[in-house]
Amino acid sequence: MDLEDLHLTLRTLQPSDYPQLKVLMDKVYDDIGGAWPKKTISRLISDFPDGQLALVDADKLIGVALSVMVDYDVFSDPHRYQDLIGTTEIIPNKADGDAIYGLDVLIDPEYRGHRLGRRLYEARKELCRSRNLQAILAGGRIPGYHLHADEMKPSEYIEAVDRKEVHDPILSFQLSNDFQVKRLLRRYLPEDKKSMGYATLLEWNNILYEAHESLLQINRTQVRVGAVQWQMRRFASVEAVLEQVEYYVDALSDYGSDFAVFPELFNAPLMGLRDQTDDVEAIRFLSSFTERFRSEMLRMAVSYNINIIAGSMVEEGKDGRLYNVAYLLRRDGSEERQAKLHITPQERRDWIIQGGDDLQVFDTDAGRVGILICYDVEFPELGRLLADQDMDLLFVPFWTDTKNGYLRVRHCAHARAIENECYVVLCGSVGNVPSIENLGIQYAQSAVFSPSDFPFPHDAVLNETTPNTEMIFFSDLDYNRLKLVRNEGSVTNLKDRRNDLFTLKWKKKKSKK
């Protein structure tokens, strides 16, 4: 058989294919009884036509995949082949089932070696995704086991095949197609002498599966993020700043954004409303406005139906100390806070800012989100701790003065997106206010980063602003793409971590006595 002569077509199996199917199954399954009766195949085609796949070369049937629908909860537990087919050889198809059970996949021996079986597996996976089914299950024979039965237990044989120390004609192929062995099945098919009655329960999990819920409970997979590259300038009053904030919140809401993001310390120009001779008193003066901003921006979140990442503001804690705090203000009226953990030398020296001691992932109606304020994103442990809590989206409000400072934040934020397989929104401020101490210059080019793999842009940058220009920008984020890259990407950073060699955990701060 020459490759140049192949004319392959993948289609559904038809009743008229049975004569060729019988010949093919008798050839492949000569050791376990040969072909299914015609009535069995006819019933499968009638009950679940999309699940019966045929691969043909011109008019010759050279490959088949047969399937039925089942209840996942029933067939993900130990069972036997007889539990599936009954005694009449009419295999019941559960039309409202939530999983596919793979009965057979076979390729004509003359056509093997060209990865044709993979085409049938991929088509079956696509069927599973398109029908929003939970998984593909299969009872897999291990026909190579009889050659090693004297030296290995069945479980040891399966592990050896998984490590590629032993090749099994069926199990090796199924493992290479992303199936996982869930358990060992005993007396699955007693007449299978080569497998000595054993089989593996295999599962391919549909990571895009969504359980049927009411409309209001469905998890969002597509969200829109809007952010403000904010111009630092002199303001005559608190009301003037809030008016500018509301203008942008209104605009971002009009474009259907799920989030409105502001930069770190965006209301810092209000320090200009008082004397600048004492840096500490100036920043403490700024903190006196934080409660009003938090309250007013929470009102905006509800009124404009948008979740607001309120950049960050200086907050005076119950202990009288000053903290740099970001607020998540949800459109349902609830709120969260995330303090900056790592304080820059300038913040510590000039403003006596303290670092926070808590790190969280927050649930929203548009994904699980984390917030790292500026300098915090330069510490990779924090991003990984958030990723371990199933974070989808990381917000990084920042404020940098020079380009090299900006590039530190940018490159680290980009790395967090790649290594944690998440989206990262970087949002900064521009402009200058020479009259305010420590607010002389700004440099920013805000951006949205993605993992670096095929579903995303080649440079892993979804969007970015014009440098040093006040503007708003948007990005549409697809969480299903994150699921795919985390499970089936070119590399899978989160799955491939060597937890047997190292661990990372949050050390809770000891309470003061």
Catalytically annotated residues: 264, 340, 374
Give yes or no for a contact between 439 and 424, defined as CB atoms under 8 angstroms apart.
Answer: no
Per DSSP, which regions of 108-257 are E strands?
135-141, 180-185, 199-205, 222-232
| Other C-beta atoms lying within 10 Å of the C-beta of residue 130 | 10
Tell me the C-alpha distance between 386 and 392, whole Å: 9
Picking from 101, 119, 129, 122, the residue whose alpha carbon sits closest to that of residue 44 is: 101
HSE (side-chain half, CA atoms, 13 Å) at 429 = 27
Nearest to 228 by CA among 189, 203, 255, 194: 255
- Output the CA–CA distances (angstroms, integers) from residue 452 to 392, 407, 484, in the order listed: 15, 19, 12
Tell me the C-alpha distance between 380 and 57, whole Å.
53
List the Cα angle 233/304/443 in 5-degree steps. Answer: 30
Beta carbons within 10 angstroms of residue 79's beta carbon: 18
As given in the structure block, the two tokens for residue 388 are: 């371990």
* H helix or E strand, kind and range, residue 303: helix 290-303
Token digits for 103? 């009965």
Burial (CB count within 10 angstroms: exposed 0-12, middle 13-18, buried 19+), residue 446: buried
| DSSP 8-class letter at 305 | T
What are the b/e assignments for 175-189, b being 16+ CB within 10 Å?
Answer: bebebebbebbeebb
